[in-house]
């Protein structure tokens, strides 16, 4: 199925090189254009420059947490409509604690299934609501 005009752009912000590699590989195989950053500040700059269709953001990063990155993106009118998929690797973070991120966000726990990632990203870029689990 051909995407109209250009490939959807996904920005991956994760300090873990192997996560960036795997996510990049999975998504580019599906026809997405993938841009990646190893930390928040670079990620925000890339988001402003490339205007991605979605951002996959690791919650737990040194220097600047994913929550802080998401709230900075939410304050920037040029990119604050970009859907964000938060990757959480810590069970206790997912365990009933919700941190309010003032932007469109989805959550996926690590380790995640490749099929699940593809489905979630597909829904996000098509702006379809996700079934809450």
Distance of CA 106 to the CA centre of its chain: 8
Q: State the pLDDT at residue 103.
A: 55
- pTM for the full predicted model: 0.81
Q: What is the pLDDT of residues 24-64, one digit of tens each?
A: 999 999 999 999 999 999 999 999 999 999 999 998 898 99
pLDDT tops 80 at residue 133: no
Contact, 25 vs 114, CB < 8 A? no
Highest CATH level, class, for 9-125: alpha beta
DSSP-assigned states of every residue in 15-65 = S-HHHHHHHHHHHHHTT-EEEEESSHHHHHHHHHHH--SEEEEES--SSS-
Q: State the pLDDT at residue 35.
A: 98
Give the residue-averaged pLDDT of 14-23. 93
Report domain extents, the chain.
Answer: 9-125
Contact, 83 vs 128, CB < 8 A? no
Q: What is the pLDDT of residues 75-127, one digit of tens each?
A: 999 999 999 998 876 544 444 444 555 555 678 887 888 898 999 899 888 86
């Amino acid at each position: 199925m051909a995407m109209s005009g250009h490939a959807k752009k996904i920005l991956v912000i994760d300090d873990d090189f192997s996560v960036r590699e795997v996510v990049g590989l999975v998504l580019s195989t599906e026809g997405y254009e993938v841009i990646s950053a190893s930390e928040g500040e670079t990620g925000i700059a890339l988001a402003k420059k490339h205007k991605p269709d979605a951002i996959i953001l690791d919650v737990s990063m040194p220097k600047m947490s994913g929550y802080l990155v998401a709230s900075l993106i939410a304050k920037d009118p040029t990119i604050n409509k970009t859907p964000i998929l938060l990757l959480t690797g810590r069970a206790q973070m997912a365990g009933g604690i919700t941190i309010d991120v003032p932007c469109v966000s989805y959550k996926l726990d690590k380790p995640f299934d490749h099929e699940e990632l593809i489905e979630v990203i597909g829904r996000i870029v098509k702006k379809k609501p996700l079934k809450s689990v």
